[in-house]
Chains A and B, each alone.
Chain A
């Protein structure tokens, strides 16, 4: 789609794109280029010179047990966040769509956690699950279950998943509710007249019609779990215990800034770059389709 009527001006358009282009070049392409360049070198121990190693950093990376485990951790983490957050949100959206009166009030009360920063969400959940003083840790203790996420990797994972999913429910809820409200009521009423029960109608008619929304949210949630949950991990577990919650984005940070392993960190950036590109292409292809629909 192109405009038929345009303005003619020799220099104005360049002036208009210049600010964004400048910021993009300086803060996107320069660093991305640096990452690709650095990923092919190893600095010597004194940081005085670097040695070209080609794909050496990548070979080292994928030969490294911790890095491969970090992939697995990221996969487990994103699946858990996506599934728990989306299913809870869908459940709430179905209920909110069902009640005719007050659905606006419920929406208001459900959307605000979107505005809470991941790092703040992390602080709130950390406080409730503090092994010594946290209220929920205490309740679990009363039930005979010892909670200490600083020692138990599984518990640490559960906690960062809960905090991350909690924050994302609002977003999913909004989109599911909009999707549900867009389904023509006549279709559902026809099934109701045929005597199908509410949940049967939901699984055979509503859920399939909702699939564009579901797929869209699936991609958005995976991207969220991959990249936006750094604050949650950093405040609650710092990747521990024993790297059990070190997702890829956290590892780039900890290897680069804490471990000062710049070659490896750069190689990891390149790997993430490829991953984001794939996710964005998937998302974009889907959105193209949605626009036609």
Chain B
């Protein structure tokens, strides 16, 4: 018996060791990027680069934020924030409204509309990229926040999520509300919205990350550097032949670009996991 316990102890110890090794490997790229953002270009161009942080953190981050590449990084961060929030809020609003209509009303073409929305599941923007760009260009949406946000806010996933949630809300509640004289708008605001609070929050976390991390769409839609988002703007900073932006500044930008979504994951871990699991149902 004692032999078995001992064996388990060794197994657990090995498990911890394996996990720590895995985490070390997964965190290594970030560590390297962090170190690179605290040293000088001269430290980086002669390999091997240092593995411990240097004294130039403040200088590099300030240079990134204030001058950056084609546009200062503070501007790109702001654009990313506007786009991410616009996509998140837009998706949640239009999805919850259409799900409400589809679940709580009977009207002509209800199922037809439902299927139209459902089919968008199958059309990621990468697939229909050229014609979508043409449509946006024809509508005069290039280099505008509307152009960054609007084409990305249709989402069947969010509509489904709300539909499923509404289905689980007991009919008795609706009945009671109606007896009390509540109309559809009152019912939505006073009962449905409060009951969807956690789901909205979980969805918010997932969609914020989705919106912030968009790459191809902003790459096409924003030709004016002052409209660039940070995730795509960093690509413009990468050295091509005649190098203008230095690696420490690029790495500082990379860390600034990943900070907001990573913080959201850390701060709202429980909601994040909930949102992730549910949006895949």
Residues of A within 8 A of B (CB): 1, 3-9, 12-14, 16-17, 19-21, 23-32, 34-35, 38, 88, 91-92, 95-96, 98-100, 102, 106, 108-121, 123-128, 132-135, 137-139, 166, 169, 171, 174-175, 178, 198, 216, 220, 227-228, 230-231, 234-235, 249, 252-253, 256-257, 262, 265-266, 269, 272-273, 276-277, 280, 287, 290-291
B103 and A273 within 8 A (CB): no
Residue B30 CB within 8 A of the other chain = yes
A92 and B251 within 8 A (CB): no
Residue B3 CB within 8 A of the other chain = no
- A256 CA to B133 CA, complexed, in Å: 11
Cβ contact of B281, chosen from A12, A227, A291, cutoff 8 A: A291
The minimal Cβ–Cβ distance linking A253 to chain B, given in whole angstroms, is 6
B234 and A16 within 8 A (CB): no
Residue B5 CB within 8 A of the other chain = no
- A4 CA to B120 CA, complexed, in Å: 28
10 interchain pairs, CB-CB under 8 A: A3-B171, A21-B113, A91-B18, A114-B276, A115-B262, A120-B257, A124-B32, A127-B250, A276-B127, A291-B281
A-contacting residues, B232-281, CB 8 Å: 232, 234-235, 238, 247, 250-251, 254, 257-258, 261-262, 264-266, 269, 272-273, 276-277, 280-281
B127 and A273 within 8 A (CB): yes
B129 and A23 within 8 A (CB): no
When C-beta atoms are compared, the residue in chain B nearest to A236 turns out to be: B238
A1 and B167 within 8 A (CB): yes
A112 and B262 within 8 A (CB): yes
- A8 CA to B183 CA, complexed, in Å: 9
Residues in B with CB closer than 8 Å to A166 are 26, 29
- A139 CA to B47 CA, complexed, in Å: 9
Residues in B with CB closer than 8 Å to A115 are 209, 213, 258, 261-262, 264-265
Which of B95, B116, B133 is the most central at the interface, judged by chain A CB atoms within 10 Å of its CB? B116
When C-beta atoms are compared, the residue in chain A nearest to B138 turns out to be: A30
When C-beta atoms are compared, the residue in chain B nearest to A124 turns out to be: B29
A134 and B231 within 8 A (CB): no
The minimal Cβ–Cβ distance linking B191 to chain A, given in whole angstroms, is 12
- A135 CA to B187 CA, complexed, in Å: 60
B127 and A126 within 8 A (CB): no
B127 and A23 within 8 A (CB): no
Residues in B with CB closer than 8 Å to A111 are 265, 269, 272-273
Which of B9-17, B53-61, B65-73 makes up part of the contact surface? B9-17
- A92 CA to B24 CA, complexed, in Å: 12
Residues in B with CB closer than 8 Å to A24 are 116-117, 120, 154
The minimal Cβ–Cβ distance linking B210 to chain A, given in whole angstroms, is 10
A20 and B97 within 8 A (CB): yes
B123 and A135 within 8 A (CB): no
A120 and B231 within 8 A (CB): yes
A110 and B23 within 8 A (CB): yes
The minimal Cβ–Cβ distance linking A170 to chain B, given in whole angstroms, is 8
B231 and A119 within 8 A (CB): yes
When C-beta atoms are compared, the residue in chain B nearest to A163 turns out to be: B29
When C-beta atoms are compared, the residue in chain B nearest to A36 turns out to be: B131
Cβ contact of B26, chosen from A38, A110, A132, A253, cutoff 8 A: A110
A5 and B178 within 8 A (CB): yes
- A5 CA to B105 CA, complexed, in Å: 9
Contact A17 B209, CB 8 Å, known A9-B184, A27-B150, A28-B128: no
A34 and B94 within 8 A (CB): no
Cβ contact of A99, chosen from B12, B44, B107, cutoff 8 A: B12
Residue B126 CB within 8 A of the other chain = yes
B19 and A92 within 8 A (CB): yes
